[in-house]
Amino acid sequence: MELLTHDILIVGGGGAGLRAAIAIGEENPKLSVGVVSKVYPMRSHTVSAEGGAAAVIKPNDSIENHIYDTISGADWLADQDVVETFVNQAPEEMIQLEHWGCPWSREPDGSVAVRPFGGMKIERTWFAADKTGFHMLHALFQTALKYDNITRYDECFATKLLVHDGRCLGVTALELQTGQLLPIAGKAVILCTGGGGRIFPFTTNAAIKNGDGMALAYRAGVALKDMEFVQYHPTGLPGTGILITEASRGEGGILLNKDGRRYLQDYDLGEPFDVTSPEHPRKRTMELGPRDRLSQAFELERQKGLTLKGEYGDYVHLDVTHMGQKKINKKIPFVRELCRNYVGIDPVHEFIPVRPVIHYMMGGVHTNVDGETPMPGLYAAGECACGSLNGANRLGSNSLTELLVFGARAARAAVKYTESLGDFPQSELLAQAQDEQARIRERYFKPGDGKGKESIAAIRTAMNDTMEDGAGIYRTDESLRKTSEILRELKERAKNVELADHSLSFNTELTAALELEYMLDIAESLAHSALARTESRGSHQRTDHPQRDDDNFLKHSLAYQTDGDPRIEYLDVVITKWPPGERVYGSK
């Protein structure tokens, strides 16, 4: 085993990881950067983001507006200093991406075009038709190609953080093509591994979203923050969970129950305007309310029996027919393509069946505004991190911008941190890597006796089901206790998973088993954080505690792994200028 070394190591090659890698090249091209990614970077889940990325650029908008929309969207659980930093830095990052070739949609005068998203006072979402994430990711990936100081470890699967004397100094990663475990050292490590939506059954998230980086940090003793806050996107396709972008509503799409009623008007989201009215769609109103409130409205409507029934559960209709073919083709062509391919309908003429689906984790590895975790040398950015920008509910179209702003900030902080560090403790790191290799060999490559054999898929399905049942849109003490109990059993059962595949080259059964263990860890942190928060706020709705409780819970939760149940601690929210208020949508 030979130690591979870099100044800074990035785990994850999506939007945040690539932005961080480029930022290091900009800061100091002499620093060597390693990017470890379990997939080729352009396969990362950033690619699936559709609607757009928020940043203040138009004269009718203001920094103050974006800050307020973010904080109220977050139900006042965002750290306001972080929000201010983010909103102020966002335009520069977006322009930077434009300078790197991102094909933003344009106004006739050649300036960048913006569209409205849910929860916004003013339209400020930059977009590249409805493949914004795809174009951003490819622009970043192609730009990263020109930096000689970046070494890519494509299709290398991180299994453990290397920690010495309390500092993070690298990872072990399974090189999928050969099956070799690589010890890769970095004076600083930036986790950019995305969220873990795959712990739930219906999700817009790609197969690779298993919370890898969150679990790696959690196991190393770093807290996972605000894990109870998970965003349901109100419009996913039933069955597959494929995302139908919020831009479809930003461009005028409406939601209808089984009787054709725009039911959101019954849930304190304002009065509807006719689709032909110049007032439609009105911002922060009806279909342009925030995601948590729209998803909750669906669930309440379902309980009243007013949704439709299909093979994959209950659903409502998203109607964009009034937009007409020309506008649909121009503004949301991918929506049309997805509907034709996966539902067999044409949204130009037909309603789109939609239901809330798991979309985004507000929680993640505990960081500050510079992406620093409490562990020296360990940084995190993007969805895997919780820098407390998103609070209890993320504002739609903030996440793509978040990748850029915090990917770059984490990189700059890491550059500064590494300046003072000397040589690697080679032998100690190699010893840890050898232990890790032995662990994987012992656990997964020993021929089993066949007794107590468990299937990866069965445990995964049981985990998915219990997360939806007990930790979904509405939760109770009882439901969360039951889910926690089932997760504990599943973790035990997972110890009895035996692999049929004992080969080295591209052993995807092994990676599926490792991913299952990651998911079970973060699912456990989520359920226990949700159990401990006896209030309702944003995406976390407790029917047994229906009110927001600022006296006791204007606080971030911090979940620490222990030998038993996770330990939950709290940290005050940073309030600067915007005292907690009521979230008002739908009024003038």
Partner 1 sequence: MAASNTTTSNAVVTMDVFRYEPDASELPRMQRYTVPFREDWVVLDALNHIKDEIDGTLSFRWSCRMGVCGSCGMMVNGEPRLTCNSFLRDYYPNPIRVEPLSYFPVIRDLIINLDHFLDKLEEVKAWLIPAEDRELSEGEYRQSPAQLAQYKQFSMCINCMLCYAACPAYGHHSEFIGPAALALAQRYNMDSRDGASDERADVIFSEEGIWDCTFVGECARVCPKNVDPASAIQQAKVEATKDFFKSVLVPWGKRQQPAESR
* Dihedral angle sign, alpha carbons of residues 410, 412, 414, 416: negative
Closer by beta carbon to partner 1, 43 or else 542: 43
Residues 288-307 that bind partner 1 (CB under 8 A): none
* Among the listed residues 65, 88, 96, 151, the single contact to partner 1 using CB under 8 A: 96
Closer by beta carbon to partner 1, 135 or else 540: 135
Query: How far, in Å, CA of 117 to CA of 54, rounded?
Result: 9
Report if residue 169 touches partner 1, rule: CB under 8 A.
no
Report if residue 95 touches partner 1, rule: CB under 8 A.
yes
* Among the listed residues 60, 177, 325, 543, the single contact to partner 1 using CB under 8 A: 177
Q: What φ, ψ does residue 535 adopt, rounded to 5°?
A: -155, 175
Q: What φ, ψ does residue 6 adopt, rounded to 5°?
A: -140, 160
Residue 14: which of 404, 522, 587 has the closest Cα? 404
Report the nearest approach of partner 1 to the CB of residue 40 (Å): 8
Q: Which stretch binds partner 1 (CB under 8 A): 74-82, 163-171, 505-513, 571-579?
A: 505-513
Catalytic, 233? Answer: yes
Tally Cβ neighbours within 10 Å of residue 505. Answer: 9
Report the nearest approach of partner 1 to the CB of residue 197 (Å): 12
Residues 544-563 that bind partner 1 (CB under 8 A): none
Torsion of CA 415, 416, 422, 424, to 10 degrees: -40
Cα within 13 Å of Cα(521), Cβ side: 29
Report if residue 63 touches partner 1, rule: CB under 8 A.
no
Report the nearest approach of partner 1 to the CB of residue 325 (Å): 17
Report if residue 83 touches partner 1, rule: CB under 8 A.
no
Report if residue 157 touches partner 1, rule: CB under 8 A.
no
| Continuous segment of H or E residues that includes residue 427 | helix 426-444
By CB under 8 A, how many residues form the interface with partner 1? 71
Closer by beta carbon to partner 1, 173 or else 244: 244
Query: How far, in Å, CA of 577 to CA of 587, rounded?
Result: 23
Q: Which stretch binds partner 1 (CB under 8 A): 92-100, 384-392, 518-526, 529-537?
A: 92-100
Q: Which stretch binds partner 1 (CB under 8 A): 90-98, 283-291, 370-378, 424-432?
A: 90-98
Q: Which stretch binds partner 1 (CB under 8 A): 288-296, 379-387, 409-417, 498-506?
A: 498-506
Residues 435-494 that bind partner 1 (CB under 8 A): 455-457
Report if residue 389 touches partner 1, rule: CB under 8 A.
no
Q: What φ, ψ does residue 537 adopt, rounded to 5°?
A: -155, 125
Report if residue 122 touches partner 1, rule: CB under 8 A.
no
* Among the listed residues 193, 507, 529, 561, the single contact to partner 1 using CB under 8 A: 507
DSSP-assigned letter for residue 274 = P
Contact string (CB under 8 A) for partner 1, positions 326-365, x = contact: --------x--xx--xxxxx-------x------------
* Among the listed residues 1, 220, 242, 431, the single contact to partner 1 using CB under 8 A: 242
Residues 19-58 that bind partner 1 (CB under 8 A): 39-40, 42-45, 47-48
Catalytic, 291? Answer: no
Closer by beta carbon to partner 1, 331 or else 548: 331
Report the nearest approach of partner 1 to the CB of residue 359 (Å): 13
Do 515 and 212 meet the contact criterion of CB atoms below 8 Å apart? yes
Q: Which stretch binds partner 1 (CB under 8 A): 180-188, 379-387, 497-505, 564-572?
A: 497-505
Q: Please provide the DSSP assignment of 23-66 as one string.
A: HHHHH-TTS-EEEEESS-GGGSGGGG--S-EE---STT--HHHH
Query: How far, in Å, CA of 367 to CA of 49, rounded?
Result: 24
Closer by beta carbon to partner 1, 96 or else 265: 96
Instruction: Find the catalytic residue in 249, 359, 528, 545.
Output: 249
Report the nearest approach of partner 1 to the CB of residue 47 (Å): 5
Closer by beta carbon to partner 1, 171 or else 237: 237
Closer by beta carbon to partner 1, 39 or else 523: 39
> Is the peptide bond between 281 and the residue preceding it cis, with omega within 30 degrees of 0?
yes
Q: Please provide the DSSP assignment of 141-203 as one string.
A: HHHHTT-TTEEEEETEEEEEEEEETTEEEEEEEEETTTTEEEEEEEEEEEE-----GGGSSSB
Report the nearest approach of partner 1 to the CB of residue 510 (Å): 10
3-state helix/strand/coil string of 476-526: CHHHHHHHHHHHHHHHHHHCCECCCCCCCCCCHHHHHHHHHHHHHHHHHHH
Instruction: Find the catalytic residue in 115, 135, 138, 233.
Output: 233
Do 159 and 515 meet the contact criterion of CB atoms below 8 Å apart? no
Report if residue 514 touches partner 1, rule: CB under 8 A.
no
Do 53 and 136 meet the contact criterion of CB atoms below 8 Å apart? yes
Query: How far, in Å, CA of 410 to CA of 428, rounded?
Result: 26
Report the nearest approach of partner 1 to the CB of residue 455 (Å): 8
Q: Active-site residue numbers?
A: 233, 249
